[in-house]
Amino acid sequence: MLKPLVDYAKQRGVPEKGFAPKPARWAILLADDGRYLGVSELGDTSAKSNSGITFPKAPEFSFSNMRAGGVHKSHFLIDSADVVALIGKNSEDAKTQAKHAYFQDLLRKAGRVMPELRVAADALADEANMAAIRADLIAAKAKPTDKVTLRIGDAFPVESDAWHDWWRAFRVSVGGEKAPKGAMRCFVSGELAEPAITHPKIKGLSSVGGMSTGTVLVGFDKDAFASFGLEQSVNCAMSEEAACAYCAALNDLLANHSHKLAGAIVTHWFRKEVPLEDDPVAFLIKPQGDVDPESPGADRKSLEAQQRAEEFLRAVETGQRVELLGNEYYALTLSASGGRVMVRDWMEGRFEALAANIKAWFEDLEIVHRAGGQTAPWPKFLGVLAATARELDEVPAPLAASLWRTAIHAEPVPQAAMARTLHRVRVDIIQDKPANHARMGLLKAYHLRKHSRKGGSDMPEQLQPYLNENHPDPAYHCGRLMAVLAAIQRAALGDVGAGVVQRYYAAASSTPALVLGRLTRQAQFHLNKINPKLTWWYESKLSAIWGSIGSEIPRTLDLEQQSLFALGYYQQLADLRTKRADEPENGTEADSPTE
């Protein structure tokens, strides 16, 4: 895992130790002579969560540097608004005041090599300027934790290299890092190198259990974790270059190429960079692209985007996109616990295998639309996750990681996912809610993948997106029978509130022998109240389904059989809603169940 991360960082230019990419959301604007001109919000100001502009080579104190000497320190050129401008409830705190003074002091010291920074320090020392800066930031609704930098004239000092040599020397003079134990074999490169005592922190995991100040991937802060008398990160010896590289890569991936899935964050990349429009994983997240559902012609645009994605995946699978063959993908699933990164999963493989796996994912999830007549659109991966729970935030992080692996690596759908989804399907049916396509598709995918893992080859023919009247499992036909019985009641009585489904679905799906025979007998009274042609059609449908069930209706159904019951019920309903040539002329569509 670390070697591909280091390679990723090298391809994009790795900041050396003491430097790191840093975002800033606000800029304090100063004229060349130090006059205060106002504040400006950086980045995409229309975004709901604007993080500003990321400067690729900003100065960075290590954790050890910050603690050295017992002095409260700030960072150089970019720090939080409470430190730079003294806004927020901690502005009068002695610690914050000390950090603010240190920020000014760094500007004065760097002013020896970059005179405009001394001008900036004088401007921040002026009380009238500071009062105006605070007022402007508060009026712009800046938060104390937002990052702030300086713009002097038309330039950001952080983008200049005039201060780099001074910073290298100053950072070393601050100290705080213990002397290394001598040359050791680097865990990443395999070469002899002086090991880094501490590694930079990983940012961007605070939403999944990490710390806002950063989280450690490689760290040994307890004696029980250490060995052979080694201290801190020397226990996993890496050169400073390798440590900075993997951290820079992870921070870039988390900031720019990641997605939150329940309690975990997933990120992926390729050995050779791939355009977004050719990234198969992007189709998992947004199968229909960035189409606004409220825009004119949204349905048509979504369908066209899905068709393009399907054509692309097929072209890669069949070898038509030769320029993409031979590439490799890497996928990482992370969360955090306190100050430590938790690696939940790591996957790698060939690009063409990834494309084939994602194509298979959508094919396995494909299910008839609840209105009948066509298949439902491809579901977003978050939609599939949400299918297993009442709300997306109720999905456990381990289950989210497992389903992500299922999609990326073409593995079986976890039984836990099937069981949770089946429960939600049952609730939807009993509460008479519209069927959720992702839920029904996930039940179908569970059986397809379980059967294929066992070496079976006939399940794809048995379990299609549409109704299969020749399915071999009686449980499937018991579900079909329940759907037809509900349709008969609706045709005879209309909407009766708590109908046969609401009252008997749960019992019928678990103990069909106790329920379905009695319901079929009761249906005869309903058949006497509807159009004779429709009566004949329903009677022939009931006879055919009972013939498919066989001589003995199952007494009980386990969870897997109950999921087949649900699929049979759903696909039969969708089939009833589809006008067909063999249906009677009068009443079928109107009398069929509707949402």
> What residues are paired with 149 via a beta bridge?
27
pLDDT value, residue 523? 83
Domain limit, last residue, from 144, 174, 204 = 174
Q: How confident is the model at residue 322 (pLDDT cuts 50, 70, 90)?
A: confident
pLDDT number for residue 423: 95
CA nearest neighbour of 265 among 71, 404, 101, 65: 404
259 DSSP 8-state letter: E
pLDDT-based confidence at 58, cuts 50/70/90?
A: very high
CA–CA distance, 385 with 463 (Å, rounded to integer)? 22
Taking the C-alpha atoms of residue 423 and residue 428, their distance in angstroms, rounded to an integer, is: 9
Say how many residues make up the chain: 595
Query: How many structural domains does the chain have?
Result: 2
Whole-angstrom distance between the N-terminal and C-terminal Cα of the chain?
49
Contacts of the segment 491-495: beta carbons below 8 A, 24+ positions apart: 491/526, 491/530, 491/534, 491/538, 491/587, 491/591, 491/592, 492/526, 492/527, 492/529, 492/530, 493/526, 493/529
Burial of 92 (0-12, 13-18, 19+ CB in 10 A): exposed
Question: For the segment 91-138, what is each residue's pLDDT rounded down to a tens digit?
Answer: 888 999 999 999 999 999 999 999 999 999 999 999 999 999 999 999
Domain end, chosen from 114, 147, 174, is at 174
Residue type, 144: P
Question: Following DSSP, what letter does each residue of 367-412 receive, concatenated?
Answer: -B-TTSSSBPPPPPHHHHHHTTSSSGGGS-HHHHHHHHHHHHHTPP
Tens digits of residue pLDDT in 16-54: 778 888 899 999 999 999 999 999 999 988 887 888 998
In-domain check, residue 47: yes
Distance CA 341, CA 210 (A): 7
Please report the pLDDT score of residue 325 as a whole number.
84
- Give the range of the structural domain holding residue 579, as residue numbers without chain letter: 467-595
* Contact criterion met (CB below 8 Å) for 530 and 575: no
Of all residues in the chain, the percent with pLDDT exceeding 70 is 91
Average pLDDT over residues 522-533: 83
Nearest-angstrom CA–CA distance, 24 and 42: 7
**Mean pLDDT, residues 78-86:** 93
Inter-residue contact 217 to 211 (CB < 8 Å): no
Is 74:62 a contact under the CB 8 Å cutoff? no
Q: Supply the pLDDT for residue 460.
A: 61
Tell me, yes or no, whether 293 lies in a domain.
Answer: no
Number of H helices, E strands in the chain: 22, 12
pLDDT score at 295:
60
- Residue range 512-525: mean pLDDT, rounded: 88
Least confident of 170-174, 285-289, 411-415, 455-459: 455-459
Within 13 Å and on the Cβ side, how many CA atoms surround 358? 33
Q: Single out the residue in 110, 145, 174 at which a domain terminates.
A: 174
What percent of the chain is modeled with pLDDT above 90?
A: 46
Residue 309's SS3 state is helix
Residue 506 within a domain: yes
Note whether residue 117 is domain-resident. Answer: yes
The reply to whether 370 falls in a domain is no
Q: In this predicted structure, what is the pLDDT of residue 262?
A: 81
For 525-542, letters b (16+ CB in 10 Å) and e give ebbeebbeebbebbeebb
Report the distance separating Cα 37 and Cα 150, nearest Å. 11
- Once rounded to an integer, what is the mean pLDDT over residues 335-340? 87
| Residue at 350 is within a domain | no
What pLDDT shows up at residue 497? 66
Residue 374 lies in a domain: no
Instruction: Please indicate, yes or no, if residue 62 is contained in any of the structural domains.
Output: yes
Can you read off the two tokens belonging to residue 234? Answer: 């020397």
In this structure, what token pair is assigned to residue 57?
Answer: 């080579």
Model confidence over 343-378: pLDDT tens digits? 999 999 999 899 889 999 999 999 999 988 888 998
Give the Cα-Cα-Cα angle 62, 63, 67 (nearest 5 degrees): 115
Q: What is the pLDDT of residue 595?
A: 34
Give dist(CA 379, CA 487) in Å, integer: 28
Please report the pLDDT score of residue 588 as a whole number.
Answer: 43
> Which runs of E-coded beta strand occur in 271-400?
328-337, 340-350
| The pair of three-digit structure tokens given for residue 516, joined into one six-digit string | 């379905």
> Which tokens hold the place of 268?
């992926």
Q: Of 189-193, 380-384, 399-403, which range is least confident? A: 189-193
Quote the mean pLDDT of the chain: 86
Read off the pLDDT band of 276 (50, 70, 90): confident
Residue 285's pLDDT is 87
Query: For the residues 280-303, what does the mean pLDDT come to?
Result: 71
Q: What is the mean pLDDT of residues 553-562?
A: 93
Amino acid residing at 592:
S
Question: 64, 201 in Cβ contact below 8 A?
Answer: no
Confidence of residue 297 (pLDDT cuts 50, 70, 90): low
